[in-house]
Structure 1
Amino acid sequence: MGNFNYHDAVAVAQIIFFVISLACGILLCTRHGWNKSSGFLILVTFSIIRIVGASFRLATISNPSRSNYVGALICESIGVSTLVILNIGMLTRLNRCLPVRHQIGKKMFSVISLVSIIAVGLSIKGGSDMAKQLGNAAPNSFSKAAVVLFTLVYVGAVAIFALLLQELQVVPLGEKRLLACFAACLPFIVVRLIYALLANFSHGREFSSINGNPTIWLCMSVVMEFIVVTIVIGISLTLKKLEKPTKASEPTYT
């Protein structure tokens, strides 16, 4: 059995935080709907991924098997995608509440979703291959391609955010806080993406989430995710349920 170390302590903190996040996500889905378009199902998904990933990491203490490392690496990789999509979900909801003539075309959101799916697939393959090296895990072409795609997806999200800002005058008063939510999360997601890029493209191993510098991982990855999720939950709990637009193309709330 291995020793309980810095990485493991952070994993425990992740489990505690994301169990609370999961409960909030379930509450929001119950209130706003469990369909993908509500934008909150991804919060549940992200929380589960992080709980499972942290559990795999803790499992390596007593059983440092390849399967546990595979699980930890895959969850760490695909979690970046769900974090980005979590913010895109806010923009999707905002777009839905706009009058039809002011909405951004669904094709843009569809392209982002497609790229995200491809990136997740690459992350799973990359994480699986990296775990085969166990203690000497190193980024491969699949994981590098995935993080580049994740970054491009977020650039696309920022572009959508800029377009929605131009429609500010027709955004319902209660929904304008979603724009503030995206803006508040932006610097923290950027730091998280920078960490992912450094982990894959820098030559130093200190940016590895598995066997790198745990303080760097904590500050540039884990804490950034905690802050983003806290902001999203804090804003989301104040939102009213968004119903389908009426014939006059105005959203209704309950």
Structure 2
Amino acid sequence: MTPYESLSIADIAIYPLILLALIFVLVRHGISKQSGFIYLATFCIIRIVGAGFGIAAGKNPRDITDFIWSAILGSIGIFSILGASLGLVKRVIDKTSTRVPRPLDERSEIETVLTYIPVIGLIVRAITRTGTAVSRRSRFIQLLQLPGTAGLILCIIGGVNQTSANVSDQKQGKTLLKAGILIFLAIYVCLVALAAKSATEFNRIPADEKWILVVVLAALPLLAVRLIWTLLAYFSDIQTFAIIGGSIVARILMATLEEFLIVIAFTVVGFMVPRYTYTDAYDTDATEMKTQEALGGTAIPEGNRTYQPSNTGR
């Protein structure tokens, strides 16, 4: 049994148990992309499937197709962790925002323009129709689903091309994979900026919600190491980080361990924090505004004021 096959067996032994725990978390918080926990469940499924390919590769080492797909699914897993992190940060932002939610059928100018672009327009309309963004930062997080989805598609297409017998297709596949990974890196930079901004509002976060931001901030360095390993694997010629024939120790220390710690931390915080709904964000926001008005002040910055949602059924 090769070290990579042993690692795949360990993944199949561990991640179904985490997935079972996440099912309870999803039942508690609801199956919604807004919560971030659905991305964790997706990550566990990706890891289980990828481990299956890893075991198959160990049984048939002459065929590298299974090994390549195991590595590709590993790259796609980054998208799920980024999505989970953004979902948790959005929850914190909605709790500290002083903006009243806009009607769901109103879009900004840039969103309106994007709706006319094929494929992207469908995604934008879906986001603005079902979204629950309370502030500009929340809406920005929702719009990050666009490049995130694009990166995911590029990685999948790149993976398919790399399994081709055509050398030209393999080269193109590697290029597409690199493009998808760079998109994930850009999303990570946005995540760091959003989390840092939320950290400056730490005192405004409800006591039972502060653990969410603490866990996300703690996960950022781990996710950075995971991204560095991916960049070295696909953008460098260092054999230690090679996808095929690379060091198993480097993979465990820079990828497997980081993913495991992040998923465990996010799952635990899912049991710790109370159930969150869109109404909670609206009620928190409206209560703060009424309190400020009762005190005779106008503490809400002019740039953060919006109109009250009507009760006409929109």
Q: Which bracket does the TM-score occupy, shorter chain normalised?
A: 0.7 to 0.9
Letter in 1 for 2:228: I
CA distance 1:23–1:132, change in 2 (3 Å): same
- Quick check: 63-72 or 165-174, which moved more? 63-72
1:192 touches 1:225 (CA, 8 Å); kept in 2?
A: yes
Query: 5+ residue gaps in structure 2?
Result: 101-133, 288-314
Which residue of structure 2 aligns with residue 15 of structure 1?
12
> Whole-Å Cα distance in 2 between the matches of residues 227 and 210 of structure 1?
24
Letter in 1 for 2:35: S
TM-score (norm: length of structure 2): 0.72
1:87 touches 1:182 (CA, 8 Å); kept in 2?
A: yes
Which residue of structure 1 aligns with residue 36 of structure 2?
39
| Residue correspondence of structure 1 range 35-114 to structure 2 within 5 A | 35-63=32-60, 65=63, 68-101=66-99, 104-105=135-136, 106-114=138-146
Letter in 2 for 1:168: F
Query: 5+ residue gaps in structure 1?
Result: none
| Residue correspondence of structure 1 range 179-218 to structure 2 within 5 A | 179-218=213-252
Compute the displacement of 1:70 (Å): 4.9
SS at match of 2:54: helix
> Whole-Å Cα distance in 1 between the matches of residues 70 and 24 of structure 2?
27
Let me know the Cα RMSD of the aligned residues. Answer: 2.3
> Whole-Å Cα distance in 2 between the matches of residues 247 and 7 of structure 1?
51
CA distance 1:63–1:242, change in 2 (3 Å): same
- Quick check: 242-251 or 6-15, which moved more? 242-251
Compute the displacement of 1:128 (Å): 1.9
> Whole-Å Cα distance in 1 between the matches of residues 233 and 148 of structure 2?
19
CA distance 1:207–1:250, change in 2 (3 Å): farther
- Deviations 1:9-41, CA, capped at 9 Å, x for gaps: 111111222112211211100011012222211
> Whole-Å Cα distance in 2 between the matches of residues 16 and 133 of structure 1?
33
SS at match of 1:209: coil
SS at match of 1:140: helix
Letter in 2 for 1:169: N
Matched, 1:126 2:124: no
Letter in 2 for 1:53: G
> Whole-Å Cα distance in 1 between the matches of residues 160 and 275 of structure 2?
40
SS at match of 1:241: coil
- Deviations 1:127-170, CA, capped at 9 Å, x for gaps: 22223369xx8872111111111111010011111221232232
Letter in 2 for 1:227: L
Matched, 1:6 2:3: yes
Compute the displacement of 1:71 (Å): 3.2
2:4 touches 2:58 (CA, 8 Å); kept in 1?
A: no
> Whole-Å Cα distance in 1 between the matches of residues 174 and 69 of structure 2?
17
Matched, 1:25 2:22: yes
SS at match of 1:212: coil
- Deviations 1:26-69, CA, capped at 9 Å, x for gaps: 11000110122222111110000000001111012334556534
CA distance 1:197–1:170, change in 2 (3 Å): same
Compute the displacement of 1:113 (Å): 1.1
**What's the % identity of the aligned pairs?**
28
Matched, 1:229 2:263: yes
Which residue of structure 2 aligns with residue 249 of structure 1?
285
Which residue of structure 1 aligns with residue 197 of structure 2?
163
Compute the displacement of 1:248 (Å): 5.5
Which residue of structure 2 aligns with residue 115 of structure 1?
147
Between the two proteins, the alignment pairs up a number of residues equal to 246
CA distance 1:225–1:162, change in 2 (3 Å): same
2:36 touches 2:83 (CA, 8 Å); kept in 1?
A: no
Letter in 2 for 1:204: I
